[in-house]
Amino acid sequence: MRVRSLALVVAVLVWAGSLTGCGALLLGGAAAGGTYSYVSGRMKVDHSAGLDVTYAAAKGACDKLNLNITSSSKDLTSASIVAKDGDREVWINLKYKSDTVTHVEIKVGLMGDENASHRIYQAF
């Protein structure tokens, strides 16, 4: 009986360890109490605010971090900001999900920079 219990514990640990692959990269601690994923050079998070508030927060984050906004646009269901961080471009894309949730995607540079993306989001 003890061998079965040990085998079960080992099986569960192996299974849990397999969940940490890059395709399932979910990290806690994103602003607004959510989680974010970082896939293909893009940080993706559902922000706990409507599109208008999130758009203003994103523009404010660019100002706080001295990112030079080169273009920005907003309509009823989406918004985008393109900025410069030195010689790297920063893309912030927002999509309306509900009156209280906006999907945010941030990419820094051609290959992406997770730390820079997270820092921008923290400044929202």
Residue where the block lists tokens 């890059």: 22
Per residue in 10-63, pLDDT (tens digit) is: 444 444 444 444 433 333 344 444 588 999 999 999 999 999 999 999 999 999
Please, are residues 80 and 92 in contact by the beta-carbon 8 Å criterion? yes
Domain 22-122 in this protein, CATH class: alpha beta
pLDDT of residue 1: 52
pLDDT of residue 24: 37
Domain boundaries defined on the chain? 22-122
CA 34, 105, 98 angle in degrees (round to 5)? 60
